[in-house]
Structure 1
Amino acid sequence: MGRLEVNRSGEMEVFVRVVELGGFSPAARAAGMTPSAVSKLMSRLESRLGTRLLNRSTRQHQLTPEGCAFYERATRLLADLEDAERVAGLGEQAVGRVRLNTSASYAHHILAPLLPAFLQRYPGVTLDLVQTDAVIDLLAERTDVAIRAGPMKSSRLVARKLGETPLTIVAAPSYLARCGEPHSIADLDAHTCIDFGYPRAVDGWSLRENGKTVVVPATGRVQASDGESLRRLALAGVGITRLAAFTVREDMSAGRLVPVLAHLDAGEKEAFHAVYLGQGGPLPSRVRALLDFLAEHGRVT
């Protein structure tokens, strides 16, 4: 019975506040406790768990690897507890803040048109949208869901596939009128190819010539950190680029961009996933609402 007398959820909440607020004193103020009481509580928690969660110094507290794992699970458990209380009082309403990390291209071309319908369907959900093409640490960035392009590597993340899209090489008519149109892989050497400025799963453009698939390095004088910037550079006539088809369909329909080397297309496609921390266990209703909505309406083709 002694184990049941321990207020484990209270300990977790104080521990999470120490981590997120950066120390015992701010956590104590937030919890209505004294810093010495927080310090004693943390010592009891570490003693009970039999491991050190925080490396302490006079200026900062740094999570140990065991502390990182405990923080990840504690935040999920506290979110589940909060969600259970909301469900008991409000039914199955999705309520609370969801932090979503996504590329600028997905945000602009897929997500933005859907947001009015999502917010109308879930009036209790607040969406915090962060745009970057960089792969982030969901735990470190306190992110609930991230949209990722490319093949999924084995990790602690759970993924829901949002479809896949062809990769299309395009350029503006103004660029082709000025520099000519390439007709072979060798012709690309005389052109300005603009590509991402960071390593990708396939570092280059896959093209098929003479019955063979060749990965062509797309190094040029201009690089960018996200697909939307590449699209705008191509529209401005800076050079030739390769982008997810869903990002350039409207531009191609309007004639602002035209396909290049379509006869050498290797048929490569890029998958998109919504990923989140966990091992497939129960999710807070606010996170589940966003994931279900994206799976239904936010698919790429």
Structure 2
Amino acid sequence: MARIDVNRFGEMEMFVRTIEAGSFSAAARAAHLSPSAVSKLISRLEARLNARLVNRSTRRIQLTPEGAEFYERSQRLLAELDDAEQAAAGALAPRGKLRINANVPVGTQILLPLMPAFCARYPAVSVDISLTDKVVDLVEERTDVALRSGPLRNSRLMARKLGETRLLLVAAPGYLARQGAPSTPADLEAHQRLSLCYARVNETWPFVVDGQPISLAPRGPVRISDGEALRQLALSGLGIARLAWFQVADDIAQGRLVPVLEDFDAGECEEVHAVFLGQGGHLPARVRAFLDFMVENVRLG
């Protein structure tokens, strides 16, 4: 039985706020306390738990493995407490800050166009959005939900599938007029094949030729860090790129990009997921609302 003179929920809340603020001083300003008071509170919590939760430096704090686990569990418990209080007050509408990370194509083409409808439905939720094609650590980056495309790594993250999208090769009409349209995958050896450069991608382009699967590595004058920038390079006429259908559907309809080698398409698709920490029953109402909204509204084509 816990001692009643220890405000464990208060300690948890201050610990979570400190991690989300990124430093003792930032957390202290938000809580109208001194940095030393916040530091002492975290030290008392560590002493009570007999575990180091954070590694301290002059500019920032970093979670230890034990701290990351405690942070995740504290978030869930605080979310349950928040939901209980809202239910008791008859105020079940989601509220608070929602932090979302998305890769650039999904963010620009899918997430941002849906934000007006989401904000209109949930006016008490404020949204912070970060767009990057790098895979972020949800705890380190203090992120509630990340939207990711491609295969998911094995991890403690939960995921909800938002859909899947076809991948296809496209090029600008001007590029094809200069270089000629490839008739077979072998013709790509004479073409500029644009690709991504971040380390987690080992990209090959799959085809089916005479009923047999083959693959070809992209090779061109430029490699780039995100999918939206890759689309812009294709639009500029620099070469051929492999992109998701949802990225280029409007460009194809408007004649800005042209599909190539469709007769040799291997039919590969890419899944898009929303990933998050914790079990669905322990999520803050604002996170549950966002996940449900995305499942309801995302159309990848």
Does TM, normalized by the shorter one, top 0.5?
A: yes
Q: Flag the 1:58–1:129 CA change in 2: closer, same or farther, 3 A.
A: closer
Of the structure 1 ranges 115-124 and 25-34, higher mean CA displacement relative to structure 2 is found in: 25-34
> What 5-or-longer segments of structure 2 have no aligned partner?
none
Inter-CA distance 20–162: structure 2 relative to 1 (3 Å threshold)? closer
The range that moved more, 191-200 or 39-48, is: 39-48
Per mean C-alpha deviation after superposition, the further-off stretch among 250-259 and 239-248 is 250-259
Report the secondary structure of 2:255's partner residue.
Answer: coil
Provide the secondary structure at the position in 1 that maps to 2:193: coil
Q: Which one is further off, 113-122 or 281-290? A: 113-122
In the alignment, which residue of structure 2 is the partner of 1:156? 156
Q: Give the RMSD, CA atoms, in angstroms.
A: 2.4
CA shift for structure 1 position 25: 5.6
Equivalent residue, structure 2, for 1:51? 51
Paired letter, 1:117? A
Calculate the TM-score normalised by the size of structure 2.
0.90
Aligned pair in 2 of structure 1 residues 230, 6: CA closer, same or farther (>3 Å)?
Answer: same
The number of aligned residues is 301
Equivalent positions of 1:127-206 (< 5 A) are 127-200=127-200, 203-206=203-206
SS of the residue corresponding to residue 91 of structure 1 reads: coil
Moved more, 230-239 or 164-173: 230-239
CA contact (8 A) 1:150 1:201 kept: no
1:96 maps to amino acid: G
Secondary structure of 2:72's counterpart equals helix
The question of 1:219 aligning with 2:180 is answered no
Letter in 2 for 1:235: L
**Aligned partners of 2:18 and 2:175: how far apart in 1?**
55
Report if the CA contact (8 A) 1:196-1:227 is conserved.
yes
SS at match of 2:276: strand
1:12–1:198 CA distance, 2 compared to 1 (3 A): same
Conservation of the 8 A alpha-carbon contact between 2:63 and 2:140: no
Cα deviations by residue, 1:234-271 (Å, 9 ceiling, x for unpaired)? 11111101100111111111221111111110010000
Measure the CA separation in 2 of the matches of 1:75 and 1:12: 8
Give the distance between the partners of 1:25 and 1:228, measured in 2 at CA.
37
SS for the counterpart of 2:282 is coil
Cα pair distance change 1:183/1:16, threshold 3 Å: same
Moved more, 275-284 or 50-59: 50-59
Distance 1:43 1:253, change over 3 A: closer
Letter in 2 for 1:173: P
Write the distance in 1 (CA, Å) between the matches of 2:95 and 2:137.
24
Query: For the Cα contact (< 8 Å) 1:156–1:279, is it kept in 2?
Result: no
Q: Is structure 2 residue 287 aligned with structure 1 residue 284?
A: no
CA contact (8 A) 1:87 1:93 kept: no
1:267 aligns with 2:277: no
Aligned CA distance change for structure 1 residues 40 and 197 (closer, same or farther; 3 Å) = closer
Deviates more, 1:269-278 or 1:91-100: 91-100
Report which stretch shifted further, 269-278 or 49-58. 49-58
Q: Distance in 2 between matches of 1:237 and 1:51?
A: 57
Listed as ranges, the gaps of 5+ residues in structure 1 are: none
